[in-house]
């Protein structure tokens, strides 16, 4: 029996970081729709009988009715596929949620915070979802499988081996206890990095985010394709994201000023259909103004710039130098100590002052 497992699509995400560069937020929301369309077309072409959506399918705060209508129309094109959704912490099953207030296609089953079993001749599907943004425990570890002779599948959203004392960890679940329950496959959502086939007979699986949400989600993104029988499981990852986030370093040590840096950034060879974050590294001898850099970047694939450089000056040497620079550094260091400025503020003031004295 074949199935598709997706999670963490976050439809209608605001993509705040990407919005700082033109209309990339809107482009990425279109990419989300395109990814879901690819998944549905794959299901249709390959006659996949089950689609598991393990939470955070959309963003509760920003989801539009038109987006849900688009999704539902896609689901109507695969009426023979049974679709199971477990709400997560970004799309909880609440009174004002789209899960309750929309007339979904008949082939869609949405689980609530009450553990349910959907029984069929060949398999039983267990599901439980969030009913608010901060669900701590959904009772997953207490499930008792009704019929162990069938294929048993669990769909939920949560943090494996998370701590109940950490408010940022949603529905923490003991991996050991989860294994002891005896499910043949557990479809998880919440962690955006795919986790499958990492250990022998692994059947507790994170599908990862369907498309990358930002520069902390590098690599390919897509869905898990499963083929399951009793005591037999084959998993395959199928990429659907038409873009990939990449991080690249640029050493500024031998760059003399901001104008030369802009030129270097605009002539970087960047791959098509990849979005880049550039890390500026090395030792700088001029002031770097990130916001000013963005104004002059013509390379459309360059989305984000982060300054990780260090001052090229040895402050101890300059402090002991009997020049105007030395006097400046010594006085600023004393002033900084008295005023309890941060190291970042100190470096910025020294950088500006030393660049002025060099002119």
Please state whether 307 falls in left (phi above 0), alpha (psi between -120 and 50) or beta.
Answer: beta
Structure token digits, residue 51: 């689609």
Which are the contacts of 48, defined by CB distance < 8 A and separation ≥ 6? 2, 3, 4, 42, 81, 225
For 87, the 3-state DSSP assignment is: coil
Q: What is the DSSP string of 306-339?
A: EE--EESS-HHHHHTS-SHHHHHHHHHHHHHHHH
Q: Do residues 143 and 154 touch, judged by C-beta distance below 8 A?
A: yes
Asked if residue 329 and residue 190 are part of one domain, the reply reads no
Structurally, the chain folds into a number of domains equal to 2
108-123 b/e (C-beta count within 10 Å ≥ 16 → b): bbbbbbebeeeeeeeb
Lookup: tokens for 352: 């500006």
Q: Average pLDDT, stretch 254-274?
A: 93
- The reported pLDDT for the residue numbered 315 is 61
- Whole-number average pLDDT of the chain: 90
pLDDT tens digits for range 173-208 = 999 999 999 999 999 999 999 999 999 999 999 999
pLDDT band at 282 (very low <50, low <70, confident <90, very high): very high
Both 130 and 101 in a single domain? yes
| Whether residues 228 and 162 fall in one domain | yes
Q: Are residues 202 and 342 in the same domain?
A: no
Domain limit, last residue, from 189, 205, 239? 239
Are residues 11 and 108 both part of a single domain?
A: yes
- The answer on 34 and 134 residing in a single domain is yes
Same domain, 185 and 206: yes
**Predicted local confidence at residue 212, as pLDDT:** 94
Question: Are residue 249 and residue 226 in the same domain, yes or no?
Answer: no
Q: State which residues form the domain around 112.
A: 2-239
pLDDT higher than threshold 70 for residue 318 = no
* Chain segment 51-82, per-residue pLDDT in tens: 999 999 999 999 999 999 999 999 999 999 99
pTM: 0.85
The first and second tokens of residue 46, run together, are: 């390959």
Q: Compute the C-alpha angle 31/35/37, nearest 5°.
A: 115
Give the H/E segment covering residue 35. helix 24-46
CB 260 within 8 A of CB 32: no
Same domain as 163, residue 192: yes
Tokens 């207030």 correspond to 101
| Residue 248 and residue 234 in one domain | no
Same domain flag for 15 and 104: yes
CATH number of the CATH domain containing 147: 3.60.21.10
For residue 318 the two structure tokens come to 């300059």
């Amino acid at each position: 029996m074949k199935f598709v497992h997706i999670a963490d699509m976050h439809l209608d995400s605001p993509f705040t970081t990407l919005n700082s560069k033109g209309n990339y937020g809107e482009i990425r929301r279109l990419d989300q729709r395109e990814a879901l369309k690819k998944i549905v077309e794959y299901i249709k072409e390959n006659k996949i009988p089950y689609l598991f959506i393990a939470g955070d399918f959309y963003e509760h705060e920003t989801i539009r009715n038109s987006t849900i209508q688009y999704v539902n129309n896609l689901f109507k094109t695969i009426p023979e596929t049974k679709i199971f959704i477990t709400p997560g912490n970004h799309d909880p099953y609440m009174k004002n949620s789209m899960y309750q207030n929309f007339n979904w296609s008949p082939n869609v089953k949405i689980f609530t915070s009450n553990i349910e079993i959907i029984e069929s001749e060949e398999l039983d599907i267990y599901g439980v979802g969030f009913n608010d943004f901060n669900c701590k425990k959904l009772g997953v570890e207490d499930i008792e499988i009704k019929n162990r002779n069938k294929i048993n599948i669990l769909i939920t959203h949560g943090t494996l081996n998370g701590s109940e004392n950490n408010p940022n960890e949603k529905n923490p679940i003991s991996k050991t206890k989860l294994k002891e329950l005896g499910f043949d496959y557990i479809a998880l959502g919440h962690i955006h990095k795919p986790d499958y086939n990492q250990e022998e007979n692994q059947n507790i699986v994170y599908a990862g985010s369907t498309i990358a949400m930002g520069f902390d989600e590098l690599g390919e993104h897509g869905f898990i394709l499963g083929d399951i029988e009793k005591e037999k499981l084959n998993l395959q990852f199928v990429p659907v994201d038409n873009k990939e986030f990449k991080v690249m370093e640029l050493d500024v040590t031998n760059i003399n000023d901001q104008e030369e840096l802009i030129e270097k950034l605009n002539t970087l060879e960047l791959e098509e259909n990849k979005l880049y974050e550039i890390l500026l590294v090395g030792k700088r001898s001029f002031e770097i103004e990130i916001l000013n850099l963005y104004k002059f970047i013509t390379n459309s694939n360059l989305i984000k710039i982060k300054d990780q450089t260090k001052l090229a000056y040895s402050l101890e040497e300059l402090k002991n130098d009997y020049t105007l620079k030395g006097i400046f550094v010594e006085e600023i260091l004393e002033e900084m100590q008295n005023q309890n400025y941060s190291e970042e503020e100190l470096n910025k003031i020294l950088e500006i002052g030393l660049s002025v004295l060099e002119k």
